[in-house]
């Protein structure tokens, strides 16, 4: 499966990745420091022990994506190659994916006449042609590299072992949220880059576990409500019977 490895210790903040993404996706030029419906990757800085550290944020392309799991029509899905892609033609515009994403990635075209959900698509068209992601191809410093996920994990583990003092000893995305197709090495805490602390289990599995408990709960609740309904009906019937007995019409006395 295809993946990207981003190493913030190698990032110079040149913005080549952003420009390549903009060109690849035919996006307008913008100076936003936030992900928007017109900007699919951003560069930010955070304080490190030896100065500012540059880092990227874009769709993590989860192995088992929550956005796809909540989509009622399958407008989002994970491809075998790695990208989580979106089909605007069947999208209902419910925006469940926006609410479900643990990384707060998808954005909505609120001002468009025919709004779509927008995010990085991992250059799915380029991958289908045998090319690598536009951002990885454009990076002049090797901060963003692309290739087979297992091969990139080998590279990342080798870097951690070779310079343990340089990195936080973890590859973000190796196991987080069940694993992602974007892997990150960092010299600063991942929280400083806005990356959430997530369980290693895929998020849809956590949802499934909760939903799997709903039928027994509903059954018990239905039994209780049925019992209350029967008691209420029984008490009402008794009350009517007693009321009818108390209001019995006296027998007519013939002269």
Q: Are residues 152 and 235 in the same domain?
A: no
Q: What percent of the chain has pLDDT over 90?
A: 76
Domain that holds residue 234: 211-246
Q: How far apart are CA 86 and CA 246, in angstroms?
A: 72
Q: Are residues 143 and 62 in the same domain?
A: yes
Q: Are residues 138 and 32 in the same domain?
A: yes
CA distances (Å), 37 to each of 8, 106, 244, in order?
25, 8, 71
Task: Count CB-CB contacts under 10 A for residue 95.
Answer: 14
Q: Are residues 68 and 40 in the same domain?
A: yes
Q: Are residues 141 and 233 in the same domain?
A: no
Contact predicate 115/104, CB 8 Å: no
11-25, 183-197, 199-213, 224-238: which has the minimum mean pLDDT? 224-238
Q: How far apart are CA 227 and CA 208, in angstroms?
A: 30
Of the two residues 141 and 50, the one the predictor is more confident about is 141
Q: How far apart are CA 84 and CA 79, in angstroms?
A: 6
Residue 206, pLDDT > 60, answer: no
3-state secondary structure string across 170-208: CCECCCHHHCECEEEECCCCHHHHCCCCCCCCCHHHHHH
Q: Are residues 233 and 118 in the same domain?
A: no
Q: Is residue 254 part of a domain?
A: no
Q: Are residues 46 and 21 in the same domain?
A: yes
Taking Cα atoms as reference points, which of 158, 92, 83 lies closest to residue 124?
Answer: 83
Q: Which residue has the tokens 């409500």?
A: 225
Per-residue pLDDT, 211: 44
Q: Are residues 164 and 220 in the same domain?
A: no
Q: Domain count of the chain? A: 2
Taking Cα atoms as reference points, which of 197, 202, 6, 201 lies closest to residue 103?
Answer: 197
Per-residue pLDDT, 225: 52
Tens-digit pLDDT profile for residues 41-82: 999 999 998 899 999 999 999 999 999 999 999 999 999 999
Q: Is residue 173 part of a domain?
A: yes
Contact predicate 33/24, CB 8 Å: no
Statement: the pTM of the whole predicted model exceeds 0.85: no
Q: Is residue 54 part of a domain?
A: yes
Contacts of 224 (CB under 8 A, 6+ apart): none
Q: Is residue 12 part of a domain?
A: yes
Contact predicate 66/203, CB 8 Å: yes
Tens-digit pLDDT profile for residues 93-135: 999 999 999 999 999 999 999 999 999 999 999 999 999 999 9
Domain CATH number, residue 86: 3.30.70.20
Query: Residue 36 has what DSSP assignment?
Result: B
Q: How far apart are CA 134 and CA 142, in angstroms?
A: 13
């Amino acid at each position: 499966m295809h993946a990207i490895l981003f190493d913030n210790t190698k990032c110079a903040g040149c913005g080549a990745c952003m420009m390549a993404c903009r060109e690849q996706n035919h996006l307008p030029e913008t100076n936003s420091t936030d992900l928007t419906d017109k900007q699919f990757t951003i560069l930010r800085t955070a304080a490190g022990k030896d100065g500012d550290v540059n880092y990227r944020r874009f769709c993590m392309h989860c192995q088992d994506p929550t956005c796809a799991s909540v989509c009622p029509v399958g407008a989002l899905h994970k491809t075998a190659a790695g990208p989580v892609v979106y089909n605007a033609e069947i999208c209902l515009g419910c925006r469940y994916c926006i609410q479900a994403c643990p990384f707060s990635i998808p954005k909505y075209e609120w001002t468009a006449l025919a709004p779509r959900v927008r995010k990085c698509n991992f250059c799915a068209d380029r991958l289908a042609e045998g090319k690598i992601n536009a951002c990885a191809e454009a990076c002049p410093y090797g901060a963003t590299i692309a290739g087979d996920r297992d091969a990139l994990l080998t590279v990342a583990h080798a870097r951690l072992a070779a310079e343990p003092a340089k990195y936080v000893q973890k590859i973000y995305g190796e196991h987080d949220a069940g694993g992602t197709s974007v892997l990150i090495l960092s010299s600063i805490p991942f929280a400083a880059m806005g990356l959430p602390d997530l369980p290693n289990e895929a998020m849809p599995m956590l949802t499934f576990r909760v939903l799997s408990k709903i039928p027994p709960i509903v059954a018990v609740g239905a039994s209780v409500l049925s019992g209350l309904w029967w008691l209420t009906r029984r008490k009402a019937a008794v009350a009517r019977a007693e009321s009818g007995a108390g209001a019995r019409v006296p027998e007519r006395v013939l002269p």
